[in-house]
Structure 1
């Protein structure tokens, strides 16, 4: 009698057939599907989650942090972070993205030596699980590459053992002219191995060696890793550098169909293991390419809104929202089951590839010059035609917003809060870098020590120094933290700020940037409007067509609007959230 194959196994086999259609396998796709189900410890007959289900609400806000962003003597950094979350953040944020917390050799964690261990200098799996019990935990799956100091790569050099066939190799004679990558370092690294001289593929650096997913054993290893992370309490997976996963000589080696299919396959496995788990793809690429990672609501649950940081920064330093407004009008609403992940600062720089086609070369030049004038650095990449082009701007967000194209001014704090008032109100889930919560400025000492541009925005706070900064009224840090928490506490109570609530762009000229949100049940409406200039601007309420039979409130100041025909004067960089429901939504 023929054994009946489960729908899950059938689906996985179909996906595997798509991935490996040009690869000769040592086992059938049916056998491989069964192996993946076993490695994931899931019931082959388990039912998938409801399609187009939103695993998020307006209460979801993610804090982005390194495990050692806050340190103190004689205490594991993960425990110091936990105390900070308890004592200083509280209920304002319900999710935490701890950047790679594994043993690593370079790139501040993104060159992983051992995926199964917690870096001893940070703490333990117990510390990770303790955080996951209070907050939704987001973790990186550094899936494109690993450290050249890993046991896997050691075995590659030996030519035997697990990992000996895990890495992608090519020949210097291959035509690699079409390859797209974000670095200027050599793509191929010459290595002497037990099998002779080989040239390993290094998309990012010679210490970060790319995997060869043509070998299904690599896929199996990562499925086991995912299972371990789920068991440790991870709910949200950030697929790091996923766009570069699959390589085919003679192509661009970015966004290939097999890469998209791998995302779909891993989603199938993850959502059968935990039906409220979320996958976010990290694809720092032009906007139109980035959108493809939604698939048909069957790939990433969320995609990083990479175009937002450079466009919003451009808006606030020029006092003109033309490009930000154009982009927002062009963005398709995320269908149910998907959403955007909004951020304006992170451990990386402010990427410029996502601004390509949205900002002109002249606008990008003005932007990079201004950032350099404010103490920032520019990282470069090699374009298709061999030209050096700016890849990202490295600067703390607080310092990036210290002035305009005319230079520094007195509106640093107001401009910084305006940026967050805009970001927090947009369609999607907001992610806030810990250094934005604290108003951290450029770390020139760390930059000097590491000689890596990204270090400028990866400060480590000593607990004593942080406590002093948060109690010294002459410093801005306490004011930033208090104001950010106030905005968050308002946001998470508004149903119109659900990540999938309706959004329309308002037409209020180029000095006022505005959009309208409406809750899924259509009961709450919020007009989100910001003055993006250093001069007062008039907002005629009559242009908003507020329904006169309803009461209207300005949520940020918690005040009622009694006259719907009046003109509001918005001070430089002031934001208003005008709602038909009061402060508590």
Structure 2
């Protein structure tokens, strides 16, 4: 029997499947057969989707802005470090909901290779769960429990590469020509050397170069990240189909947001850095259209930590506008916020945001102060020059400042992956430690600790008011600091990003209701502004977010404007009080944070943020 819903989705969305795929694979003689395979894959996945998930699809179709609303707040954690095993996660849902969490990203939990696995991003089996965490049934149960409590499950799909122990790679190593074609391999260094001429190194410290010699194959394999992570070759449509099958599998387990890891690297072009190629966007558009036929309740998140000019493209531009990923990380905002705090100057933050092109109204940013990864200083030379800075010098300053070596720095971070050829030095460190809390507590400096708490809250104010889905990394809500114990664990010791991936301190979390503690000072204020955001319709993600030059480099000004109303956000990025004049046409205003009324001018105390609505 023909399913009318499925047929209507095919009719509406199949053209959006064919268009990008024709551009990618249309010259192949088996192109029509490829489309037939995908029709079968879609039909089978749709048929297998259970009634509860179809009901979710129906709700999302009538509330397409569900992820753009002001009641959506994200939380990011490793399952074992947050709860233990997957089966233990439901017992922690109450804690999440207390803060207002409705989006939970459980960091990589698909079956990784044994031994070093890049924090779970070297996947050995996309259809199995890390046995240390549980089973596929446990994952399905977690998704169901979360959904019943109004929390969407977010999961990683590593789509640029597999572990070398993955079945596809095992078959390639055995010489199977069909699976050799899943990867990029070379018999000698001739082609790899040509590629390397323009390729950057992601991990120059412990994984230099982009190719690995595999003796049993007698071939060089493309390995952008680590020698055990083999890049897939998306010029082969079989790879595209395989990965779409994985998307359907995860969607039918109840995953509601798929975080597509390392998408920027998926297509290679000689003479380039092999990132952000046009074909990457075509791949994403095809996946988006196909997944909407099967599971319109599921959305795609592009993990693209790239330069500002490239970033917006992952949310769709031109012919792909509204037809690519719904979500992308606003890495540029994160970097610019830390820069503003280090400089006590919002000029670069303001200019960088002003230079960003608009995004489609059907998409949204993920905003955050930090996540599981290191911080790379994505400050372009052009943006730095525009505010009188040297790009290289400013990036070096930020690395010095947040590693704690710059005179007067409040930060406690660690340099990650210093590259002597480029001078690039990324930074590891927890939010609280980078914001000065660790340093102040070690010196028993109450004033310094109070300022650090204000910095932590300022960062959260700005990610909560910018628009999109704000993300809290596990432990930041209670001010967890760096955890150097990773260095004693052989599997982790070589990667200092584990410095800022501590085990959840549940004893500290219990102190969140004791007003005499640091944990409560952070948690309760954060809880209050989360609730305030929920009741502020001007902060819906469809509202424009316009950075405005305040005339005072210490004051960052953000205007949120739409048919829902206007909101003016003022943030003092310095540790000194500052007065600032309001736009004359605003007249009298009401501060939603403090409850105060003002007109003409307001005073901002150190690191204070005000949310101003016209009275």
TM-score normalised by the chain length of structure 1: 0.87
Offset of residue 231 of structure 1: 1.1
Indicate the SS of the match to 2:313: helix
**Alpha-carbon distance in structure 2 between the residues aligned to 1:230 and 1:537:** 50
Corresponding residue for 1:189? 212
Aligned partner of residue 399 in structure 1, secondary structure: helix
**Alignment correspondent of 1:530:** 571
Write out aligned runs for 1:123-202 (5 A): 123=134, 124-125=138-139, 126-134=141-149, 135-160=151-176, 163-170=179-186, 171-174=188-191, 175-176=194-195, 177-184=197-204, 185-193=208-216, 196-202=217-223
Alignment-derived partner of residue 366 in structure 1: 397
Q: 130-139 or 97-106, which moves further after superposition?
A: 130-139
Aligned residues between the structures: 556
1:437 and 1:400 mapped to 2: Cα distance? 14
2:73 to 61, 74, 87: 61
Q: How big is the alpha-carbon RMSD for the aligned residues of Structure 1 and Structure 2?
A: 3.1
Q: Residues of 2 paired with 1:391 and 1:23: CA distance?
A: 44
- Could you tell me how far apart the structure 1 residues matched to 2:61 and 2:46 are? 21
SS of 1:353's partner is: coil
Distance 1:79 1:474 in 2: 34
Is 1:505 the counterpart of 2:547? The answer is yes
Report the CA distance between 1:10 and its aligned residue.
4.6
In the alignment, the residues of structure 2 paired with residue 98 and residue 418 of structure 1 have an alpha-carbon distance, to the nearest angstrom, of 26
The CA distance in 1 between the partners of 2:29 and 2:264, in whole Å, is: 23
CA distance, structure 1, for counterparts of residue 532 and residue 182 of structure 2: 49
1:401 correspondence with 2:438:
no
Distance 1:40 1:88, change over 3 A: closer
Give the superposition deviation at 1:89. Answer: 3.9
Which residue of 2 is the match for residue 309 of structure 1? Answer: 334
Give, in whole Å, the separation in 2 of the partners of 1:238 and 1:42: 24
Mapped to 1, the partners of 2:302 and 2:418 lie a distance apart of: 21
The alpha-carbon deviation at position 503 of structure 1 amounts to 2.8
**C-alpha distance in 1, partners of 2:352/2:235?**
37
Q: Verify: 1:378 aligned to 2:415, yes or no.
A: yes
* Offset, 1:30: 3.5
CA distance in 1, matches of 2:300, 2:509: 35
Mark the CA change 1:475 to 1:103 in structure 2 (over 3 Å): closer, same or farther. Answer: farther
**1:434-583 maps to which residues of 2 (within 5 A)?**
434-449=474-489, 450=492, 451-461=494-504, 463=506, 465-467=507-509, 470=512, 475-508=517-550, 509-518=552-561, 520-522=562-564, 524-541=565-582, 543=583, 545-548=585-588, 552-557=589-594, 559-561=595-597, 563-565=598-600, 567-580=601-614
Does 1:30 pair with 2:35?
Answer: yes
Query: 1:15 and 1:40 mapped to 2: Cα distance?
Result: 21
Taking the aligned partners of 2:581 and 2:546, their CA distance within structure 1 comes to 18
The residue aligned with 1:122 is: 133
Q: In structure 2, do the counterparts of structure 1 residues 424 and 467 end up closer, same or farther at CA, with 3 Å as the change threshold?
A: closer
State how far apart, in whole Å, the 2-side matches of 1:348 and 1:536 are: 33
Structure 1 CA distance, aligned partners of 2:312 and 2:328?
A: 7
Q: Residues 315 and 360 of structure 2 are in contact (CA less than 8 Å); yes or no, is this contact kept in structure 1?
A: no
Counterpart in the other structure of 2:7: none
Question: Which consecutive unaligned segments of at least 5 residues does structure 2 have?
Answer: 1-9, 49-56, 385-390, 405-410
* Equivalent pair of 2:412/2:436 in contact (CA under 8 Å): no
Within 5 Å, give how 1:213-292 maps onto structure 2.
213-292=234-313
Contact 2:316 2:360 in 1 (8 A): no
> For residues 119-143 of structure 1, what are the alpha-carbon distances to aligned partners after superposition, in whole Å with 9 as ceiling and x for unaligned?
2222322234322433012111110
Quote the Cα distance in structure 2 between the aligned partners of 1:78 and 1:486: 29
TM-superposition CA deviations, 1:256-291 (whole Å, max 9, x none): 222111001001011222224321211111110112
Distance 2:533 2:13 in 1: 39
CA–CA distance in structure 1, aligned partners of residues 28 and 142 of structure 2? 41
| 1:183 Cα deviation from its structure 2 partner | 2.7
Q: Which moved more, 1:57-66 or 1:242-251?
A: 242-251
Q: Distance in 1 between matches of 2:610 and 2:572?
A: 9
> Cα deviations across residues 14-64 of structure 1 (Å, max 9, x unaligned)?
322211256665864433443443454379xx99x9899534312122111
User: Which residue of 1 is the match for residue 6 of structure 2?
Assistant: none
1:82 to 74, 77, 90: 90
**Displacement after TM superposition at 1:164 (Å):** 5.0
Cα 1:579/1:448, change in 2 over 3 Å? farther
SS at match of 1:432: strand
Q: Tell me whether 1:413 sits opposite 2:453 in the alignment.
A: yes
Q: CA deviation at 1:181?
A: 4.6
Contact kept, 8 Å, 1:427 with 1:499, in 2: the verdict is yes
User: Does the 8 A contact of 1:165 with 1:215 survive in 2?
Assistant: yes
Deviates more, 1:227-236 or 1:89-98: 89-98
Q: Distance in 2 between matches of 1:132 and 1:389?
A: 46
Q: Residues 554 and 572 of structure 2 are in contact (CA less than 8 Å); yes or no, is this contact kept in structure 1?
A: yes
Unaligned runs of 5+ in 1: none
Three-state SS of the structure 1 residue aligned to 2:472 is strand
- What is the DSSP-based 3-state SS (H/G/I as helix, E as strand, rest coil) of the residue aligned with 2:128? coil
Name the SS for the 1:441 alignment partner. Answer: coil
Verify: 1:392 aligned to 2:409, yes or no. Answer: no
In the alignment, is the contact (CA less than 8 A) between 1:555 and 1:576 conserved in 2? yes
Listed one character per residue, the Cα deviations across residues 117-170 of structure 1 (whole Å, up to 9, x for unaligned) are 222222322234322433012111110011122232222222349855422223
After TM superposition, give the deviation of residue 405 of structure 1 in Å.
Answer: 13
Indicate conservation of the 8 Å contact 1:13/1:32, yes or no: no
Distance 2:514 2:303 in 1: 37
Q: Distance in 1 between matches of 2:178 and 2:479?
A: 45
In 2: Cα distance, 1:274 partner to 1:483 partner: 37
Q: Partners of 1:276 and 1:216 in 2: how far apart?
A: 26
Distance 1:153 1:335 in 2: 38
- Give the secondary structure class of the aligned counterpart of 1:461: coil
Q: How far does residue 462 in structure 1 lie from its aligned partner after superposition?
A: 5.2
Q: Larger % of helix: which?
A: 2
Q: Distance in 2 between matches of 1:70 and 1:51?
A: 34
Question: Quick one: structure 1 residues 161 and 22, their matched pair in 2 at CA, closer, same or farther if it must change by over 3 Å?
Answer: closer
Q: In the alignment, is the contact (CA less than 8 A) between 1:51 and 1:337 conserved in 2? A: no
| Mapped partners of 1:9, 1:499: distance in 2 | 28
CA–CA separation in structure 1 for the residues paired with 2:372 and 2:122: 15
